[in-house]
Amino acid sequence: MPEALGRGFRPKSFDKIRFPALAKHGMKLAYCPTDVRKLKHYLPELIALDDGFTLSYYTTRDPPKILAEPNADGWVTGSRIVLLHRDQILDTATGTVTDAAPL
């Protein structure tokens, strides 16, 4: 995982769980701890790993809103999840594919 985490962290694979759809492509499922830095600070490291990742983020640009109390409808702030596969960002909500390298 990103060396920028400062501890030389490497992903731990779920070796006891088999995912045939991933295995046939030589991949395993791995996890990463939460990273609160802006994606642009570690995206090149993820791309260099040449694998697949889920990326999730809050849509607000006002950090205090993330921890705010919800309104009467239960709404706090929006969030998104996209897929990074190698150097492509796949947004399943919009159906778009974006080159991640220039970000």
Residues 29, 19: contact at Cβ < 8 Å? Answer: yes
Q: Which residues contact 67 (CB under 8 A, 6 or more apart)?
A: none
Gap between the Cα atoms of 69 and 77, Å rounded: 10
**Tens-digit pLDDT profile for the chain (103 aa)?**
444 444 454 555 444 455 676 677 777 666 555 677 778 888 888 888 888 888 888 888 888 888 899 999 999 988 888 889 889 999 988 999 999 986 6
pTM of the model: 0.59
